[in-house]
């Protein structure tokens, strides 16, 4: 009798300053299941409490990146809980002090595309298709619309979320939703090179840069000027003391 252990649905690995999430349900289109949400959320919460890694890489096994998420809930209470769980993961990915890199080697639809967009860098294979297909089932993709407008202009974005047509990586790049289109064979090496460039930068400076960049999106220019005065004072003193 075969007693080999079942494969982990998401592989969570640390290598030096790099934390990696590898979606590992290729036979199910790498849809995010409840246990996968829980595992990634717990890891990101732990990292937020005691930061150690500097780069987060999100990738997938098989030919598909992620075609969505599982929907198991059937009543209002459980549906709300399910949605809250997915939004919490998105909040943690966006807000982490690590620099997040999505390595989209294959199709990314719905939640998968939305998760990739949230990363600081979204590298996409030229062979991938991208889409927000939720409205084709009558479900407005509210969790994606909550932030996608920060990346793409309304006239480009609204047809994507309303009509759900498949997008080429080139179209997504032009709209501002991804960072780079990569040749399939070069995706991993491009992500490796980007990781090395990030790790070569000052750790504290990188975390401060990301925190300020995210905060500036939520505030007025005048508030940002005041915050910039504080941050540049603190950062300059830190660098002077480190010499």
192 found inside a domain:
yes
Residue at 3 is within a domain:
no
Q: Which tokens go with 132?
A: 């927000």
CATH of the domain at 180: 3.90.226.10
Q: Which of 62, 65, 68, 54 is nearest to 100 (CA)?
A: 54
- Longest Cα–Cα distance of the chain, Å, equals 68
1 falls within a domain: no
| Interatomic CA distance for residues 12 and 8, integer angstroms | 9
Whether residue 214 lies inside any domain: the answer is yes
What is the total count of domains within the chain?
Answer: 2
Cα 60 from chain centre = 13
CA angle 145, 147, 153 (to 5 degrees): 80
Assess whether 165 and 224 both reside in one domain.
Answer: no
Same domain for 134 and 210, yes or no, is no
pLDDT value for 46: 97
pLDDT at position 6 is: 66
From first to last of the 243 residues of the chain, give the pLDDT tens digit: 455 566 899 999 999 999 999 999 999 999 999 999 999 999 999 999 999 999 999 999 999 999 999 888 788 998 899 999 999 999 999 999 999 999 999 999 999 999 999 999 999 999 999 999 999 999 999 999 999 999 999 999 999 999 999 999 999 999 999 999 999 999 999 999 999 999 999 999 999 999 999 999 888 889 888 887 887 888 788 777 876
Q: Give me the pLDDT at residue 243, please.
A: 62
Residue 142 lies in a domain: yes
Q: Is the dihedral of CA 98, 42, 112, 21 positive or negative?
A: positive
pLDDT at position 241: 85
Residue 195 lies in a domain: yes
User: Backbone dihedral region of 67: left (phi > 0), alpha (psi from -120 to 50 degrees) or beta?
Assistant: alpha
In a domain, 210, yes or no: yes
Long-range contacts, stretch 73-77, CB < 8 angstroms, 24+ apart: none
Domain extent, residue 229, equals 203-241
Q: Is 141 helix (H, G, I), strand (E, B) or coil?
A: coil
Same domain? For 26 and 135 the reply is yes
Cα-based angle 239, 57, 135 (whole degrees, multiple of 5): 120
Task: Give counts: helices (H), strands (E), the chain.
Answer: 9, 8
Domain-located, residue 2: no
Are 114 and 51 found together in one domain? Answer: yes
pLDDT at 103: 98
Give the whole-angstrom CA distance, residue 161 versus residue 140.
8
Pair of tokens at residue 165: 């047509």
User: What backbone torsions phi and psi does residue 179 show, to the nearest 5 degrees?
Assistant: -95, -45
Quick one: 27 and 112 in the same domain?
A: yes
Identify the pLDDT of residue 147: 94
pTM of the model: 0.92
So what's the pLDDT on residue 3? 55
What tokens were used for 158? 């609204």
């Amino acid at each position: 009798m075969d007693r080999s252990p079942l494969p982990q649905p998401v592989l969570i690995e640390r290598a030096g300053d790099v934390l990696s999430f590898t979606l590992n349900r290729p036979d199910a289109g790498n849809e995010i299941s409840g246990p996968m949400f829980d595992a990634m959320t717990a890891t990101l919460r732990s990292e937020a409490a005691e930061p150690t890694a500097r780069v987060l890489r999100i990738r997938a096994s098989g030919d598909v990146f992620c075609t969505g998420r599982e929907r198991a809930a059937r009543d209002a209470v459980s549906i709300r809980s399910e949605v809250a769980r997915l939004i919490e993961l998105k909040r943690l990915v966006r807000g982490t002090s690590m620099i997040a890199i999505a390595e989209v080697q294959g199709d990314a639809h719905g939640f998968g595309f939305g998760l990739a967009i949230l990363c600081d860098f979204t590298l996409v294979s030229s062979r991938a298709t991208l889409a927000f297909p939720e409205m084709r089932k009558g479900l407005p993709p509210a969790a994606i619309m909550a932030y996608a407008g920060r990346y793409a202009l309304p006239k480009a974005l609204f047809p994507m979320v309303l009509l759900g047509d498949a997008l080429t990586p080139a179209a997504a790049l032009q709209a501002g939703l991804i960072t780079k289109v990569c040749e399939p064979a070069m995706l991993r090496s491009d992500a490796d090179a980007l990781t090395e460039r990030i790790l070569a930068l000052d750790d504290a400076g990188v975390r401060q840069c990301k925190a300020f960049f995210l905060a500036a999106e939520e505030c007025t220019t005048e508030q940002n000027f005041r915050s910039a005065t504080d941050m540049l004072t603190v950062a300059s003193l830190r660098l002077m003391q480190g010499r």
